[in-house]
């Protein structure tokens, strides 16, 4: 009888342990994981990070499905949500991301700052977002991170990874005390780069903004908007524009913005140092020509497609359930006429018609010119090359949970997390 009771006790204990997840991490055995590096999420254009007040109202990552970063933390993953300039250039955002990750002062670079007529230094972060990033443990292993970027956030993390690996000779030559970001040699600090719905090669929506004369209008509106709210009580509490380098907004807690109209003029004058320019065909090509792949980093891309071909007409239309606010843009993207961009020579043909209602699916696959391979998650990914997933169904916002079901969003990001943790 004692043996029977003992056996039953052991079986009940094991059942409780396994059902409680004591031996699991997000539903998979810990032994399946090759690493437990932290995840750093980087938002896109007009987005915000986890530390901003607006995120407690509407989280960027997760949107209408709830805070995705908190959900993943609850599943056992170490996650962080970074905050960088919502309309800043990829360069400025990469510099801000590096300072935030390391707990240092933002250094936009001596050469870059002079070229674009803004301040070299930004705010100081007293504590690193990821404690011990880049440090070595007792076995000599570096604490790495996984970078995950949505939309323009994908461009930001690509550039950060490039600078971490190769540095910037122009910046090291410009002054005697360059940021450690520009000296390179830190390729071992980043394990993977994952881009989600990132328009690596611009979007034909740019053509639409030109035809409707919206491109210049948007730059003016965004600068006035940021200059106004960046001087208000909301700055640093609800929103954070990270535009103190242009003097267009106050550094949170300080009053260091430039004169209102001068700051707007200066910002527009240097509009090639903004995300709007970086997202144009010319700006995207310039970034792609500069950014090289780091050979030891794993690159993954998840393009999105919210369109289908009509059974009768054969024409491409937005899927049912596409966000009605951006669905009309998806219609235009799917029916634009074939043309060739004059600045880059890129031909926008029928392959560019599938889209996520903001960006063309083909543009989200990989930066043209980079090495790439098709990947469905079942094999072993390759380092130093883009592992491109089949197009995911959903629009640009559904990719981060906006107007999407919690179950689908959570399952999607759990699958990403499990993949990244399985890469040795």
| Catalytic residue status for 395 | no
Give the chain as a 3 state SS string: CHHHHHHHHHHHHHHHHHHHCCCEECCEEHHHCCCCCCEEEECCCCCCCCCCHHHHHCCCCCHHHCCHHHHHHHCCCCEEECCCCCCECHHHHHHHHHHHHHCCEEECCHHHHHHCCCCCEEEECCCCCCCCCCCECCCCCECCEEEEEECHHHHHHHHHHHHHHHCCHHHHHHCCCCCHHHHCCCHHHEEEEEEECCCCCCCCHHHHHHHCCCHHHHHHHHHHHHHHHCCCCCECCCECCCCHHHCCCCCCCCCCCCCHHHHHHHHHHCHHHEHHHHCCHHHHHHHHHHCCCCCCCEEEEECEECEEECCCCCCEEECCCCCCCCHHHHHHHHHCCCEECCCCCCEECHHHCCECCCCEHHHHCCCCCCCEEECCCCCCCCECCEEECCCEECCCCHHHCCCCCHHHHHHHHHHHHHHHHCCC
Single out the catalytic residue among 118, 191, 372, 396. 396
Single out the catalytic residue among 107, 278, 356, 395. 356
| Catalytic residue status for 410 | no
Single out the catalytic residue among 151, 223, 263, 301. 151
| Catalytic residue status for 405 | no
Active site residues: 151, 356, 396
């Amino acid at each position: 009888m004692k043996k029977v009771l003992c056996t039953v006790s052991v079986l009940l204990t094991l059942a409780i342990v396994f059902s409680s997840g004591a031996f699991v991490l997000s539903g998979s055995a810990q032994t399946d994981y090759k690493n437990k590096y932290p995840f750093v999420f980087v938002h896109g254009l007009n987005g915000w990070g986890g530390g901003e007040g607006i995120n407690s109202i509407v989280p960027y990552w997760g949107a209408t499905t709830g805070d995705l970063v908190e959900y993943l933390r609850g599943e056992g993953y170490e996650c962080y949500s970074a905050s960088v300039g919502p309309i800043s250039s990829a360069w400025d955002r990469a510099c801000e991301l590096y300072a935030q990750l390391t707990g240092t002062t933002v250094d936009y670079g001596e050469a870059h700052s002079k070229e674009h007529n803004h301040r070299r230094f930004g705010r100081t972060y007293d504590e690193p977002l990821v404690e011990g990033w880049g440090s070595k443990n007792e076995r000599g292993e570096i604490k790495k991170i996984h970078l995950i970027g949505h939309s323009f956030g994908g461009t930001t993390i690509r550039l950060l990874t490039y600078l971490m690996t190769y540095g910037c000779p122009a910046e090291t030559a410009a002054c005697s005390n360059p940021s450690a970001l520009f000296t390179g040699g830190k390729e071992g600090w980043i394990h993977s780069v994952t881009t989600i719905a990132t328009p690596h090669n611009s979007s034909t929506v740019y053509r639409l903004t030109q035809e409707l004369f919206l491109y210049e209008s948007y730059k003016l509106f965004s600068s006035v908007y940021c200059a106004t709210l960046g001087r208000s009580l909301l700055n640093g509490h609800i929103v954070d524009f990270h535009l103190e380098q242009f003097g267009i907004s106050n550094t949170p807690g300080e009053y260091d913005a430039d004169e209102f109209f001068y700051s707007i003029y200066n910002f527009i004058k240097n509009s090639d140092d903004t995300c709007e320019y970086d997202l144009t065909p010319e700006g995207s090509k310039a970034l792609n020509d500069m950014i090289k792949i780091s050979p030891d980093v794993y690159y993954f891309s998840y393009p999105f497609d919210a369109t289908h071909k009509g059974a009768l007409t054969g024409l491409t239309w937005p899927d049912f359930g596409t966000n009605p606010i951006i669905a009309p843009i998806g219609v235009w993207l799917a029916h634009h006429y074939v043309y060739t961009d004059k600045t880059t020579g890129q031909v926008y043909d029928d392959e560019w018609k599938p889209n996520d209602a903001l960006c063309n699916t083909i543009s989200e696959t990989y930066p043209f010119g980079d090495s790439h391979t098709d990947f469905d998650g079942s094999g072993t990914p390759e380092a130093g090359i883009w592992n491109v997933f089949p197009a995911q169904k959903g629009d640009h916002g559904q990719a981060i949970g906006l107007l999407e079901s919690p179950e689908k969003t959570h399952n999607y990001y759990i699958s990403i997390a499990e993949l990244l943790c399985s890469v040795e």
